[in-house]
Amino acid sequence: MTVQATSAQSAGPPDGSKLETRGVLILVVAIFFLFGGITNLNDVLIPKLKGLFSLNYAQAMLVQFAFFTSYAIFSIPAGLVMKRLGYFRGIVLGFGIMALSCLLFLPAAYSGLFGSFLVALFMLGGGITLLQVAVNPLILSLGSPDTAHSRLTFAQFFNSVGVFLMVRFGAEIILGETSKTDGSTLTGEALKAYRVAETTVIGHSYIGLAIVLALIAVLFWFARNFIQRQEVEEVKMTGSFALLRNNARLRFGVVCIFLYVGAEVAIASIMINYLGDARTLSLDPRSAGIMLSYYWLGALIGRLMGGFLLRLTKPGLLLALFAAAAILLNLTSAISSGELAAYSLIAVGLANSIMFPTIFSLATEGLDAEAPQASVLLFTAIVVGAFIPLLTGVVADFGGLAVALIVPIMCYAVIASYGLYAARKQ
């Protein structure tokens, strides 16, 4: 999942040696790895902060809301910055913002205030937005246009690997050791001291990420001469909204992109609390966090299978089938208990796997010269998906986590209808 406001010509790397190109490509793939990992580390933060600050589900979902809202605010300025500074300075600036944002988690931990974490997450999302605006077109320009799709698919695969590994080990580190003190019995300075002690591990974890980001920024510094030769081409927004108004397939696709992102993030955001509930597995936070990583592993496996399956059937029909599977799995989880309820919800990750690329390709099919404007509209729709986890949290506060699954079920129902609509049009 990426936000993109610029594009680059894919005419191949000018004047650069193959070894030089390969080195830059490895760095860009490393960025995709970090994108997925850092973004979905929010799923581990939510239950940790929810318990420490005695938040309801709607309040806890502000973690995702703050992060994704920054995409909306920074996406267009990021495109302008990239056009003005070029890839090299833009990427280094993005790394700088991300590293600084990671450093903010340490004072946030010592402040003992939930709002401090939201500020750090908002800034982190801004840095990621700037980098995403750069690396998607950059990776397309690093070689022949004939192999551009395979390079992007390869990078997206490592994005999924980053999600799985970061969530897996993030659960071990952030949720691994919890105090036996009951925070609900504390007040005043004792409560603040307890929160500081429990969130210090978060601050230290993000300090480690800041160091990694700084090291990669240094590597990009050494690659600056090659990256500066890559031309940044601005995507003009003129006519984009007219295109949206006149193209029903694209308009439907934009709606489905934000519903898909919202449903996927909402399920991941409640997963740890869901698996810790007595109705399911009563897992401790660390064990539930490890189980959450399997939700993302399912998406990774499904993406490896998706390319093969899309060769055997119509993309629209396959999208409808996967969305129907997601509905069935969510419904099974909501009305059952124990292992069936737990594993059916984890299996939704596999059903999610092909949805984003399939919706994207169906929405832009046949647009040719208008495809860049359509891409911007589709990526911008990701931001709106931040409202779906918030809505899921509100429903969970009123009816419980099982009832809250009605929100993603409704999202998948719309996506299934889009698949059938696209299959008929094809």
What's the mean per-residue pLDDT of the chain?
84
Range with the lowest mean pLDDT among 225-234, 256-265, 359-368? 225-234
Cβ(392)–Cβ(407) under 8 Å?
A: yes
Res. 236 pLDDT band, cuts 50 70 90: low
Name the residue among 186, 49, 63, 195 with its Cα closest to residue 124.
63
Each residue of 287-339: pLDDT tens digit?
A: 999 999 999 999 999 888 877 787 788 889 999 999 999 999 999 999 999 99
Q: Answer yes or no: is pLDDT of 229 > 70.
A: no
Each residue of 23-42: pLDDT tens digit?
A: 667 777 778 888 788 989 99
SS3 content of the chain, % helix, strand, coil (to 5): 80, 0, 15
Cβ(195)–Cβ(183) under 8 Å?
A: yes
Q: Which residue has the higher pLDDT, 272 or 426?
A: 272
Q: Which residue has the higher pLDDT, 308 or 5?
A: 308
Average pLDDT over residues 164-184: 83
- CA atoms of 376 and 401, how far apart (whole Å): 34
Can you give the pTM of this predicted structure? 0.87
Most confident of 57-71, 186-200, 350-364: 57-71
What are the E-state strand segments in 160-263? 232-234
Q: Answer yes or no: is pLDDT of 163 > 80.
A: yes
Torsion region of 56: left, alpha or beta (phi above 0 gives left; psi -120 to 50 gives alpha) = beta
- CA atoms of 366 and 315, how far apart (whole Å): 14
* Percentage with pLDDT > 90 across the chain: 49
Q: Which residues are bridge partners to 6 per DSSP? A: 234
Q: Answer yes or no: is pLDDT of 262 > 60.
A: yes
Res. 9 pLDDT band, cuts 50 70 90: very low
Average pLDDT over residues 138-149: 62
Q: Give CA separation, 339 vs 92, 133, 149, 346, 405, in Å.
A: 46, 41, 39, 10, 17
Q: Which residue has the higher pLDDT, 320 or 146?
A: 320
User: What pLDDT sits at residue 390?
Assistant: 95
